[in-house]
């Protein structure tokens, strides 16, 4: 049974200020007027379900999250439809993945109903912050962190869960579909067997930062990782999953393992591919196979997918030894068709055949 959230309405910004911010939202830099919050203690369980004004947290400098990174998060979006209604996409899948992540991090599991209610209450209160521009959405960031103030390395007995909302445009900036260059590193690993790769936790992203710096220094907007043992099997990008499409229309994507995050968009893509009657294989894919396939013309399209990235064509793969340009950097027909099908469902322009959308407002 869902617990009732207390709503503490904040003054917030004026309609004029809000509209100015919404004019060019970018990705993840502006935030709505409120946030959801629930606290947890080992003795008292989940309590104080509320929506309050967006504000900084007052945290003890000894809070465990600062020292031992005991934290997990999610990313999902709410979409405005032409009739003014607002919908979320597959949030139940995010809620279940959040539980898996928290379990791995020694954090308490938030009931799925509370996760969904925390999103719905916030979006309902801040519905004026859902942007209405083309391919814009309200990016929602649920997260949980350890706040016990003690330096012993032990699971925290005090935890805070919160959701913030960020009106957003394209993750990679620019307008339209802009293909991106990916830098593949074999020197830095994101995760290893037995580690936290399958969990959505800050530590995995922290481990990707230096490699992301290297990617940017080499003119790429995103880093790609191979496995930490043999340094040859493609896993995922810094914040998204990867697919390759062959000239004869077959798709391939790295099979899930304990070192790969199970993307919610990745799952939707697999379904859309089947709907389209195309064939897709989840299997081990080596970086050399991708390089050779691109160079020989076997792989004519590559794309990245994720909540933030949606479906973004890949222009090239690059490393210290050179660059492998995919089909003259032109986005491929399969990539664009899948992207269109996905966004049409999300924005209410196509039938929601799989029951992925849920109306909030």
Q: Kindly list the residues in this chain that would bind ligand COI in the complex (CB under 6 A).
A: 75, 239, 306-308
φ, ψ (nearest 5 deg) of residue 334: -65, -45
If the CB atoms of residues 242 and 294 are measured against ligand COI, the closer one turns out to be 242
If the CB atoms of residues 294 and 342 are measured against ligand COI, the closer one turns out to be 342
If the CB atoms of residues 117 and 304 are measured against ligand COI, the closer one turns out to be 304
Tokens standing for 62? 């000894």
If the CB atoms of residues 91 and 294 are measured against ligand COI, the closer one turns out to be 91
Smallest separation, CB 3 to ligand COI (Å): 26
Smallest separation, CB 141 to ligand COI (Å): 8
Nearest C-alpha neighbor of 5 from the set 165, 92, 121? 121
Smallest separation, CB 360 to ligand COI (Å): 18
Query: How buried is residue 238: exposed, middle or buried, by Cβ count under 10 Å (0-12/13-18/19+)?
Result: buried
If the CB atoms of residues 75 and 332 are measured against ligand COI, the closer one turns out to be 75
Smallest separation, CB 31 to ligand COI (Å): 15
Measured from each CB, the residue nearest to ligand COI is: 75
Smallest separation, CB 140 to ligand COI (Å): 9
């Amino acid at each position: 049974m869902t617990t009732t959230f207390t709503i503490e309405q904040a003054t917030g910004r004026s309609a004029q200020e809000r509209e100015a911010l919404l004019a060019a939202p970018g990705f993840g830099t502006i935030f709505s007027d409120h946030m959801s919050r629930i606290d947890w203690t080992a003795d008292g369980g989940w309590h104080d379900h509320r929506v309050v004004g967006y504000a900084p947290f007052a945290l003890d400098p000894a809070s465990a999250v600062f020292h031992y990174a005991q934290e997990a998060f999610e990313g999902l979006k709410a979409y405005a439809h032409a009739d003014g209604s607002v919908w979320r996409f597959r949030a139940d899948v995010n809620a279940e993945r959040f539980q898996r992540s928290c379990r791995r991090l020694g954090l308490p599991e938030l009931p799925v109903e509370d996760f969904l209610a925390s999103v719905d209450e916030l979006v309902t209160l801040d519905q004026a912050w859902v942007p209405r521009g083309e391919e814009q959405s309200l990016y929602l960031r649920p997260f949980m962190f350890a706040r016990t103030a003690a330096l012993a390395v032990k699971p925290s007995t005090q935890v805070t869960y919160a959701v913030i909302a960020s009106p957003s445009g394209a993750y990679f900036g620019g307008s339209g579909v802009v293909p991106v260059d990916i830098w593949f590193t074999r020197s830095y690993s994101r995760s290893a067997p037995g580690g936290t790769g399958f969990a959505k936790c800050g530590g995995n992203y922290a481990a990707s930062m230096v490699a992301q710096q290297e990617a940017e220094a080499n003119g790429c907007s995103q880093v790609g990782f191979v496995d930490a043992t043999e340094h040859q099997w493609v896993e995922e990008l810094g914040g998204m999953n990867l697919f390759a499409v062959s000239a004869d229309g077959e798709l391939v994507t790295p099979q899930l393992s304990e070192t790969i995050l199970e993307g919610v968009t990745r799952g939707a893509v697999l379904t859309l591919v089947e709907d389209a009657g195309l064939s897709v294989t989840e299997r081990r894919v080596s970086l050399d196979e991708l390089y050779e396939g691109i160079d020989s013309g076997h792989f004519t399209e590559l794309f990245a997918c994720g909540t933030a990235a949606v479906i973004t064509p890949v222009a090239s793969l690059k490393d210290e030894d050179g660059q492998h340009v995919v089909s003259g950097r032109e986005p491929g027909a399969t990539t664009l068709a899948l992207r269109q099908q996905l966004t049409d469902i999300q924005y209410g322009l196509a039938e929601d055949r799989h029951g992925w959308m849920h109306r909030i407002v």
